[in-house]
């Protein structure tokens, strides 16, 4: 299988982080005050061994409290599995992380207010690809170079990715690792009932291509039986990014507008053509929502009404009852499976929509040294085989993932590391994020009362406006000084 070779250690370690991050849009109400599921004795010994191994710098932190700010608590709470990286931070440095949480909608406004008042927390998550470069432009975050040694062996695997998140010559994101942004989730019972080829088997034979994907969509759809091939909020982006070309890229610290890319034009034309056959859930007929009304992300898969839902791996990283209630199907019966989005490049690099597990250092952070220590702990856990095994055991025990699911996640992470596609249209400013989300990315496949829009029309109507905001962001200099 192309790119199936293991490229870096520790890809499964991201699952632990993803299980806490979830979809990235909760209301800030999670409670981390309850007791997490503790590590076993042998797992604690593995963490202690890593702490004593000499991999981590021996530093004495003057301030042993690290302040987290986000829309979810970073410390695992009641019913959640303990985090080996937090355990390592405590064991190695005697330090603790304090949770400070807000809601998804208010997180940037609340953080900006704290920074302006010079009452900033220490760090903030960058996993949702909406932090950079706007957080640097607005001086909510500061460079990490003075604290995190990206040239050290701990950071070798991800140094090239860290170089992507550069503003005014400085690194702003501690990129712990690369993970898939979307995977193509399906229900095997539905595949078998329809007599379709299993995508995982096609992938193993190098036959999971866009042609195979479109053919399966066409064969499945039956609007009279309420059967639609594609649903969800993210499949437009997932399909487009198989080209390897993001709509907005970040090159050498500058934002690049790729809306006129020939590769994007080609896939968007195909998306437009395929949408005419009715393969997409008709959101215009359902108050512009998904089949699950925005609440059940897997609605339709488990009942054989939907074929594919491209979504973040967080969608199925939960206990089996939660996954089933969300509509995906029965994990323990082997129904729920996923693959990368199909190959779109005819034996060229297999591009994978990617995101980072990473963190930003807040401007005026009171404890940047502890931030660096915790980032090093997270990288050490990613690279350590014993810690990887802890995460795999937790996935099997808590979420009942099969060995095949874990192996597939390994494979997709390796693919994302080899040829990642990072999309930055959510990370420049609020105006661009809204423009892309509401007007551009879904236009060729989401029917409105006026029908579908061709990509030619989309570009004609929006290119100049996007270019204006891009140029503005590229030339803007933050007024607030960086500490």
- The domains of the chain are located at 13-180+353-421, 183-350+431-475
Quote the pLDDT of residue 281. 95
Half-sphere exposure of 282 (CA within 13 A, CB side): 14
Q: Please write the tens of the pLDDT for every residue from 110-140.
A: 999 999 999 999 999 998 889 999 999 899 9
Helices (H), 22-106: 41-51, 84-93
Provide the pLDDT confidence category of residue 453 given band limits of 50, 70 and 90: very high
Burial of 124 (0-12, 13-18, 19+ CB in 10 A): buried
**What does the mean pLDDT of the chain come to?**
89
Residue linked to tokens 């989309």: 458
Q: How confident is the model at residue 167 (pLDDT cuts 50, 70, 90)?
A: confident
pLDDT at 27 over 50: no
pLDDT tier for residue 234 given thresholds of 50, 70 and 90: very high
Q: Minimum mean pLDDT among 19-33, 86-100, 276-290, 400-414: which range? A: 19-33
pLDDT of 363: 96
Mean pLDDT of 303-322: 94
Give the burial class of 270: count Cβ atoms within 10 A of its Cβ; 0-12 exposed, 13-18 middle, 19 or more buried: middle
Q: Please measure the distance between the N-terminal and C-terminal CA atoms of the chain and give it in whole angstroms.
A: 48
Give pLDDT, residue 34. Answer: 58
Q: Give pLDDT, residue 347.
A: 61
The fraction of the chain above a pLDDT of 70, given in percent, is 91
> What is the pLDDT at residue 222?
96
> Does the fold of domain 183-350+431-475 match that of domain 13-180+353-421?
yes
Residue closest to 291 by CA, chosen among 321, 302, 317, 24: 302
User: Mind listing the pLDDT tens digit for each residue in 176-226?
Assistant: 999 999 999 999 999 999 999 999 999 999 999 999 999 999 999 999 999
**Per-residue pLDDT at 308:** 98
pLDDT tens track for 377-417: 999 999 999 998 888 888 898 899 999 999 999 999 999 98
pLDDT given for residue 294 in this prediction = 86
What pLDDT score does 447 carry? 87
Residue with tokens 């940047």: 368
CA nearest neighbour of 375 among 24, 71, 97, 53 = 97
Residue 79: per-residue pLDDT: 66
Residue 56, CA distances (Å) to 115, 126, 371 in order = 30, 23, 14
118: left (phi over 0), alpha (psi -120 to 50) or beta: left
Q: What is the pLDDT of residues 316-334, one digit of tens each?
A: 998 899 999 999 999 999 9
pLDDT tens across 248-275, in order?
Answer: 999 888 899 999 999 999 999 999 999 9
| CATH number for the segment(s) 183-350+431-475 | 3.40.190.10
CA–CA separation, 173 and 145 (whole Å): 10
pLDDT value of position 320: 94
DSSP 183-205: EEEEEHHHHHHTTPPPHHHHHHT
Q: Is the pLDDT of residue 22 over 80?
A: no
State how beta strands 420-421 and 352-362 pair.
parallel
Please give the average per-residue pLDDT across 23-36, as a whole number. Answer: 46
- Give residue 278's pLDDT: 93
Spatial CA neighbour of 56 closest among 450, 407, 379: 379
Query: What is the reported pLDDT for 254?
Result: 87
CATH of the domain spanning 13-180+353-421: 3.40.190.10
């Amino acid at each position: 299988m192309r790119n199936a070779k293991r490229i870096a250690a520790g890809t499964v370690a991201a699952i632990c982080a993803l299980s806490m991050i979830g979809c990235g849009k909760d209301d800030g109400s999670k409670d981390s005050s309850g007791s997490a599921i503790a590590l076993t004795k042998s797992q604690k010994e593995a963490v202690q061994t890593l702490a004593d191994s000499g991999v981590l710098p021996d530093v004495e932190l003057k301030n042993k409290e690290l302040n987290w700010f986000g829309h979810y608590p970073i410390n695992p709470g009641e019913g959640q599995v303990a985090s080996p990286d937090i355990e390592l931070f405590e064991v190695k440095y005697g330090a603790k992380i304090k949770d400070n949480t807000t809601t998804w909608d208010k997180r940037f406004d609340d953080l900006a207010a704290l920074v302006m008042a010079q009452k900033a927390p220490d760090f903030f998550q960058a996993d949702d690809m909406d932090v950079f470069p706007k957080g640097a432009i607005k001086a909510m975050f500061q460079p990490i170079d003075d604290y995190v040694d990206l040239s050290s062996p701990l950071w070798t695997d991800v140094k090239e990715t860290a170089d992507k998140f550069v503003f005014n010559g400085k690194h702003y994101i501690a990129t712990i690792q690369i993970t898939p942004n979307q995977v193509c989730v399906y229900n095997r019972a539905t595949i078998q009932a329809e007599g379709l080829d299993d995508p995982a088997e096609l992938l193993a034979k190098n036959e999971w291509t866009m042609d195979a994907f479109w053919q399966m969509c066409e064969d499945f759809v039956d609007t009279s039986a309420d059967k639609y091939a594609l649903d969800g909020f993210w499949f437009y982006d997932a399909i487009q990014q198989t080209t390897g070309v993001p709509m907005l890229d970040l090159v050498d610290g500058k934002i690049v507008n790729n809306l006129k890319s020939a590769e994007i034009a080609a896939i968007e034309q195909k998306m437009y053509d395929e949408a005419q056959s009715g393969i997409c859930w008709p959101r215009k007929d359902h108050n512009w929502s998904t089949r699950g009304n925005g609440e059940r992300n897997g609605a339709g898969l488990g009942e054989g009404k939907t074929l594919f839902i491209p979504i973040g791996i967080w969608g199925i990283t939960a206990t089996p009852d939660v996954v089933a209630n969300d509509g995906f199907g029965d994990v323990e019966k082997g129904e729920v499976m996923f693959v990368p989005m199909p190959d779109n490049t005819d034996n060229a690099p297999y591009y994978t929509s990617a995101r980072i597990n990473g963190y930003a250092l807040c401007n005026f952070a009171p404890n940047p040294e502890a931030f660096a220590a915790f980032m090093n702990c997270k990288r050490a856990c990613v690279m350590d085989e014993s810690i990887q095994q802890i995460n795999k055991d937790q996935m099997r025990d808590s979420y009942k993932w099969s060995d095949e699911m874990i192996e597939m996640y390994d494979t997709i992470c390796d693919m994302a590391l080899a040829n990642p596609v990072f999309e930055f249209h959510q990370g420049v400013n609020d105006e661009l994020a809204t423009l892309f989300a509401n007007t551009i990315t879904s236009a060729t496949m989401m029917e409105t009362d006026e029908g579908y829009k061709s990509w030619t029309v989309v570009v004609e109507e929006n290119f100049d406006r996007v270019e204006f905001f891009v140029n503005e962001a590229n030339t803007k200099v933050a007024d607030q000084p960086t500490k």
